[in-house]
Each structure stands twice: as structure tokens, then as C-alpha cells.
């Protein structure tokens, strides 16, 4: 199985950094600049895991998680933010976020979390 991972952040440079960090794991990576674009990607691609920034224009990461949490089937989603507060963390946990991460995020830690989420949910192993 080739896992499809969606990286959603309004900072293009940060998205590229995350793509570079994950590209050597045999993942098919998709990018979105905001939650609205993320939902469009999820509608047309079989996404297996989503990385979502909280604070984005138009549609926030929490709003995307709200939509994903109502869908059938497993999909781990990871919420990340440089401005995380307890209310956001509680809301993300209530919607069964796989992980909640505070930026800056060490890339090795992020790789391990992404691979762990895919392994736990789908039995996926990196190439």
C-alpha cells in the first residue's frame, strides 16, 4: 500500500519542509494551503492521514477535523499549531485527533508520528 498523506498549512515554506521530511518514507504526499482546499483534496483523493494546521484562512484545521470526525472509517488526523491553547486541544481530543502537536515540531518526531498513525490504522510500513 502506498499511503496518501495530506499536509495542510497556509505557510508554503513549512508545507515544503514537511514534504521533504516525509518524502523518503514512501508516502504519496498532497498539499493544501487552507482547510477549504484540504476538504477538496479529501473529496477527490483517498487520503489515509491528514496533517492540519489550526490557524488558516477560510476554513481552520479544527473545522476540517469536525468534517472528518463525522465520516465513517478510520483516518488519523494530526492537528498542529504554534498557538495551541487548552480549548483547542480539548476540542481536537473530543473529535478523536490522533495527535495534537505544538510547533515547532522536530521532523524526526513528526515522521515517527505519521508512520505510527499509518501503522496503527492500516498496518502500513515505510518503504
Name the helix (H) or strand (E) containing 119: helix 107-122
- Whether residue 78 has pLDDT greater than 90: yes
- Whether residue 104 has pLDDT greater than 90: yes
Q: Does residue 66 fall inside a structural domain?
A: yes
State pLDDT tens for residues 79-98. Answer: 999 999 999 999 999 999 99
> Higher model confidence: residue 5 or residue 74?
5
Q: Does residue 127 fall inside a structural domain?
A: no
d(CA 127, CA 125): 7
CATH number assigned to the domain comprising residue 21: 3.40.50.2300
How many residues can be counted in the chain? 127
Q: Does residue 34 fall inside a structural domain?
A: yes
d(CA 10, CA 91): 21
- As for how many domains the chain has, the answer is 1
Q: Does residue 56 fall inside a structural domain?
A: yes
Strand partners, 120: none
The closest alpha carbon to 25, from 116, 126, 125, 118, belongs to 126
Q: Does residue 35 fall inside a structural domain?
A: yes
For residue 38, what pLDDT band results from cuts at 50, 70 and 90? very high
Q: Does residue 46 fall inside a structural domain?
A: yes
Q: Does residue 47 fall inside a structural domain?
A: yes
Which residues, 6+ apart, have CB-to-CB distance to 42 below 8 Å? Answer: 6, 50, 68
Q: Write out the residue range of the structural domain in which residue 80 sits.
A: 1-120
What are the C-alpha distances in Å from 89 to residues 12, 17, 23? 24, 24, 28
Q: Does residue 19 fall inside a structural domain?
A: yes
Amino acid at each position: 500500500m502506498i499511503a496518501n498523506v495530506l499536509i495542510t498549512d497556509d505557510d508554503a515554506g513549512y508545507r515544503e519542509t514537511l514534504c521533504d521530511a516525509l518524502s523518503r518514507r514512501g508516502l504519496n504526499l498532497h498539499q493544501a494551503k487552507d482547510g477549504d482546499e484540504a476538504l477538496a483534496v479529501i473529496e477527490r483523493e483517498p487520503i489515509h492521514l491528514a496533517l492540519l494546521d489550526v490557524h488558516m484562512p477560510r476554513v481552520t484545521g479544527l473545522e476540517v477535523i469536525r468534517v472528518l470526525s463525522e465520516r465513517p472509517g478510520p483516518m488519523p488526523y494530526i492537528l498542529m499549531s504554534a498557538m495551541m491553547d487548552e480549548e483547542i486541544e480539548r476540542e481536537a481530543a473530543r473529535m478523536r485527533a490522533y495527535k495534537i502537536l505544538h510547533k515547532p515540531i522536530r521532523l524526526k518526531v513528526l515522521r515517527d508520528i505519521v508512520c505510527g498513525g499509518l501503522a496503527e490504522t492500516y498496518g502500513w510500513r515505510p518503504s
